[in-house]
């Protein structure tokens, strides 16, 4: 009798263990804490909705997805630690990281472990290193910089324009590309400055801008610093227009900068919320009281990519996913996606937006 009970117990235990490991572990990583945590929150919301929808239709290749969340706080060393943790957990797909300075070192860990990575990081080094596991869905800073630089040179002709960055891989890379594009149009930056992200007092920069007669700055960096610079410029009697990059697509900027946010322009991909094919998903977010701004729909699209690639390959093995992603075309909420040999999106596009009264939309021509 005891042997029968023991055998039955072992069978139930085996079944329970197999059920624990039956789910496919997938992951996101980014700044879930720290000054850029609002971006991490966008990514989390998009990923959770995508996984809920994928699991509702039966999962991927017959198994449900389970989400792991890694917090790198946009710190390169922490990003590598997170990557190693994810490898140890045996994830089979990563959407991350967010900051280019985190994605670049973390991706070296993932490629060694044969884990496919879909990222929104835009520094060209993300894909230029030739890693076979990387797929970038948000374009590159050399493309983004051309759009921003050309716009500044055309629309602010005759005004003094400063180019400022936060010394990060993303920020400096984007600022350099904007300056290069401006100069190609015959406009030389009046000032080229760098700041340290995370500080609270940028009055020194504001004084330099004011003394030089600068009216417009192109900023390579993140939204938190832009809000401070704008407020401190306004207090000093300096009216500034700011041209930023894709990281300005965050309502936190409008909240922190107040009315000064109306002076912010930025480059980003076409607004996926306007895609007719994304309407049902956008409604689902709205019904859940979530505004799918910024990177929310990019995260949703990343898991659509994984789902479609695995379904076509009838496999979640790395070699099959990598081959399918590299050779296929995929319909997602951010549009049709395919990739070149480096893993860059084959049809990147950047447009110019402007904040107005707490919302952003395409700039009026």
What's the distance, Cα to Cα, between the start and end of the chain in Å? Answer: 83
The β-bridge relationship of strands 330-332 and 264-268 is unpaired
- Three-state SS at 21: coil
User: Can 24-139+273-338 and 142-268 be said to share one CATH topology?
Assistant: yes
Task: Indicate yes or no: pTM above 0.75.
Answer: yes
The predicted pLDDT at position 18 comes to: 34
Residue 351 belongs to what H/E stretch?
Answer: strand 351-356
List the chain residues with pLDDT less than 50.
Answer: 1-22
pLDDT of residue 26: 98
Count of CB atoms situated within 10 Å of the CB of 339: 23
SS (H, E, C) 148-204: HHHHHHHHCCCCCEEEEECCCHHHHHHHHHHHHHHHHCCCCCCEEEECCCCCCCCHH
State residue 202's pLDDT score.
97
What are the residue ranges spanned by the domains of the chain?
24-139+273-338, 142-268
Please name which of 199, 150, 145 lies closest in space to residue 171, comparing C-alpha atoms. 145
Residues 142-268, CATH architecture = 3-Layer(aba) Sandwich (3.40)
CATH number of 24-139+273-338: 3.40.50.2300
Confidence at residue 348, expressed as pLDDT on a 0 to 100 scale? 67
167, two tokens = 């010394």
87 C-beta neighbours (distance < 10 Å), count: 16
Q: Which of 207, 218, 205, 220 is nearest to 167 (CA)?
A: 220
């Amino acid at each position: 009798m005891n042997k029968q009970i023991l055998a039955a117990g072992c069978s139930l235990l085996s079944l329970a263990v197999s059920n624990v490991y039956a789910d496919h572990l997938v992951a996101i990583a980014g700044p879930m804490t720290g000054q850029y945590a609002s971006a991490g929150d966008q990514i989390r919301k998009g990923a959770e909705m995508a996984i809920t929808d994928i699991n509702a239709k039966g999962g991927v290749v017959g198994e449900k997805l389970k989400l792991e969340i890694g917090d790198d706080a946009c710190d390169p060393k922490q990003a590598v630690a997170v990557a190693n943790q994810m490898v140890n957990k045996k994830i089979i797909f990563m959407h991350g990281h967010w900051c280019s300075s985190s994605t670049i070192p973390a991706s070296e860990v993932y490629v060694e472990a044969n884990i496919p990575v879909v990222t929104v990081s835009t520094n060209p080094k993300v894909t230029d290193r030739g890693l076979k596991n990387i797929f970038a869905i948000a374009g590159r800073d050399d493309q983004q910089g051309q759009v921003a630089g050309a716009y500044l040179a055309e629309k602010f002709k005759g005004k003094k324009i400063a180019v400022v960055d936060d010394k990060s891989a993303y920020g400096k890379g984007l600022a350099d590309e904007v300056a290069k594009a401006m100069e190609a149009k015959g406009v030389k930056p009046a000032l080229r400055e760098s700041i340290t992200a995370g500080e609270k007092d940028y009055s020194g920069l504001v004084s330099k801008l004011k003394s030089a007669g600068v009216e417009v700055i192109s900023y390579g960096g993140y939204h938190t610093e832009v809000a401070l610079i704008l407020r401190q410029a306004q207090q000093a009697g300096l009216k500034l227009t700011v041209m930023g990059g894709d990281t300005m697509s965050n309502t936190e900027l409008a909240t922190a900068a107040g009315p000064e946010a109306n002076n912010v322009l930025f480059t980003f991909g076409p607004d996926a919320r306007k895609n007719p094919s994304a309407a049902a998903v956008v409604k689902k977010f709205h019904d859940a009281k979530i505004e799918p701004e910024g990177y929310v729909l990019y995260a949703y699209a990343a898991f659509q990519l994984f789902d479609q690639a695995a379904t076509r390959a009838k496999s979640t093995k790395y070699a099959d996913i990598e081959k399918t992603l590299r050779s296929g075309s995929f319909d997602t909420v951010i549009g049709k996606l395919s990739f070149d040999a480096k893993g860059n999106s084959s049809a990147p596009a950047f447009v110019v937006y402007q904040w107005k009264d707490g919302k952003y939309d395409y700039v009026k021509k």
